[in-house]
Amino acid sequence: MGTYLPLFPLGLVVYPGEQVRLHIFEERYKELIHSCLTERLTFGIPAVIDQQLAKVATEVRVISMDKRYANGEMDIQTEGIRRFEIERFDKLSPGHLYPGGEGRWLDDVLDHTPEMAAAVRENLQRLHQALGITKSFEDDASQALSYRIGHHIGMSLKEEYELLTLPQESERLRYILRHLERVIPVVMETERLKAKAKLNGHYKNVFPPDF
């Protein structure tokens, strides 16, 4: 039998090691967080994509209660721990208002080379420079590079989820590198057109390509 976890489906992808702030306002999820705090439980966040529950999810833990409101709503901070695959989904956990599910843990393999990580960082820097963004991603043994930058490279929700499903860091970094190699030329051309239109006084008439 697999591990049973409370589940909090959301329209986002959470990566292992990532910290996410959540505002809790629905009664069923107030109960879920209360259960986690009082019973020292973790819970799972599966992404909802096109109104479908994704199979691969991330186990998370509550690391702080930032604010508790008079009506029972809460501002909390969570941290992703590890990935798992949902094998059975229950709309209601036994005896509770919130969903739950049985799943199996998924392994992560850190098999990338320093050269691969350096290539990803170099292309990420090119993207951010084109966009005028200043942000660095130094080595951090507590979290894979792919998970640290997954939300910072302009991927769609589906692409962020596909990244989560890949078990090997080398696969994830190759996926990110392919994405960056596609996106960077488009961004650079878009920014060039914006700058040209601004100089010509027609900035409002420029429609950058959709990517």
Interatomic CA distance for residues 31 and 44, integer angstroms: 15
Cα–Cα nearest to 96, from 25, 5, 20: 5
pLDDT tens by residue, 58-107: 999 999 999 999 999 999 999 999 999 999 999 999 999 999 999 999 99
Average model confidence (pLDDT) across the chain: 90
SS3 for 152? Answer: coil
Provide, for the chain, the percentages of residues in helix, strand and coil under a 3-state DSSP scheme, each rounded to the nearest 5. 40, 30, 35
Given pLDDT bands bounded at 50, 70 and 90, which one contains residue 113? confident
Determine the average pLDDT of the residues in 45-58: 97
Where does the chain hold its CATH 2.30.130.40 domain(s)?
A: 3-105
Please give the full DSSP string across 11-66, using - where no structure is assigned.
Answer: SS---TT-EEEEEE-SHHHHHHHHHHHHHT--EEEEEEETTEEEEEEEEEEEEEEE
Predicted pLDDT of residue 57: 98
pLDDT tens by residue, 187-207: 888 877 776 666 654 444 444
SS3 for 77? Answer: strand
Find the DSSP H helices in 52-168: 114-131, 145-149, 157-165
Q: Does the model's pTM come out above 0.95?
A: no
Which residue did the predictor score with more confidence, 133 or 146? 146
Determine the average pLDDT of the residues in 134-153: 83
Question: How many other CB atoms are found less than 10 A from the CB of residue 68?
Answer: 12
Asked whether 20 and 60 are in contact (CB, 8 A), the reply is yes
Interatomic CA distance for residues 43 and 4, integer angstroms: 9
Strand-pair category, 43-49 with 100-105: unpaired
Q: Is the dihedral of CA 121, 124, 126, 131 positive or negative?
A: negative
The H or E element that residue 200 is part of is helix 169-200
Provide, rounded to the nearest whole percent, the portion of the chain with pLDDT above 70.
89
Predicted pLDDT of residue 82: 97
Which residue did the predictor score with more confidence, 192 or 31? 31
Interatomic CA distance for residues 184 and 126, integer angstroms: 7
Query: Could you tell me which CATH class the domain 3-105 is placed in?
Result: mainly beta
